[in-house]
Amino acid sequence: MAAARPILPLRIGDLKLALPLDLVERVLPMVELDPLPGAPRHVVGTASVHGRIVPVVDLCQSLGLHGRDRSASDRLVLVRAGARPVALSVEDVEPVLYVAEDALAASDEMPGGLPQFDGMAWTGTGRVLIYDLAACLTAADELRLSAALEARS
């Protein structure tokens, strides 16, 4: 029997994504965000998470999709993107799935060269794209974000 890899499925509209579960710290309800002037466009503000100020990335904007208004029912997925914790704003989070290693495809096996994705998995409900957290904040984004956070404090 093939080893199973746990993933956390996320939904933004009709798009179903997932994160490797080992990169997820926790899932939180949406909170009111504080603005962060000077941050990259897809960093839509900050949230206080147990006393930590965490930048919030709108995953829809990060992927270059049509923006949508956040709602009170949205979720924040707290992850570690590089050296910093980041909260991803998503429409919904589904229960953890365990996907057999042989049901995963690496990014070089994906059609169309989608750089924001680390691969895809086939589940009982169809294909799920595995989001690459490294694509969340580029080196230039990190510099802008650091400067915006510094200016705020």
User: Using one digit for the tens of pLDDT, what is the confidence trace for 71-89?
Assistant: 888 999 999 877 789 999 9
pLDDT number for residue 72:
80
The predicted model scores a pTM of 0.87
| Domains by residue range for the chain, with CATH | 4-152 (2.40.50.180)
pLDDT number for residue 2:
60
**For the chain, what is the mean pLDDT?**
85
In this structure, what DSSP letter does residue 116 have? T
Long-range contacts of 44-50, Cβ-Cβ distance < 8 Å, separation of 24 or more: 44/70, 44/89, 46/149, 46/152, 47/76, 47/87, 49/76, 49/78, 49/85, 49/87
Rounded to whole angstroms, the Cα distance separating 34 from 44 reads: 8
Q: Determine the average pLDDT of the residues in 102-116.
A: 62
pLDDT of 125 > 80? The answer is no
